Amino acid sequence: MGLSYGREKFQAATLTLVSSLPLRERINNAVSNFLVYLIDEDLPSEAVQEFNHLLKRVTGLEEKLDEGLSFRISSLSNYQLEAIAERIVALHIVLCEAYEMKKTLNHFY
């Protein structure tokens, strides 16, 4: 799908993080509803490794599957959950910047 798709999924995930649900549920929803569907080609190259590490940390899985997601996330501390939420927002910023750069470069070529 590409960078535009990745940006859209991260935007939706970030908006999910600002709901009134408990943080554990917000992260579970952000990851299981939006982020697990992304593939490496949907991300800028500089974000791929961090994204894959983030998913593995949240899901406990080597591959991007949403099975068992709630089980793994329930074992994370509040501190770990806050750090994960911060990384999701930071990666969203990286995607937005990469998308804007690509748009600008496409304008000139």
The predicted pLDDT at position 58 comes to 86
Q: Are 88 and 54 in contact (CB under 8 A)?
A: yes
50-96 pLDDT per residue, tens: 999 998 888 776 555 545 555 577 788 999 999 999 999 999 999 99
Please give the Cα distance from 106 to 78 (Å, whole number): 42
Please give the Cα distance from 105 to 32 (Å, whole number): 33
Q: Which of 15, 4, 84, 87 is nearest to 44 (CA)?
A: 4
How many C-beta neighbours within 10 Å does residue 78 have?
A: 10
| Local confidence band at 104 (pLDDT 50, 70, 90 cut-offs) | confident
14-45 pLDDT per residue, tens: 999 999 999 999 999 999 899 988 999 999 99
Place of tokens 């993080």: 17
Domain boundaries, the chain: 3-108
The predicted pLDDT at position 85 comes to 96
The predicted pLDDT at position 42 comes to 95
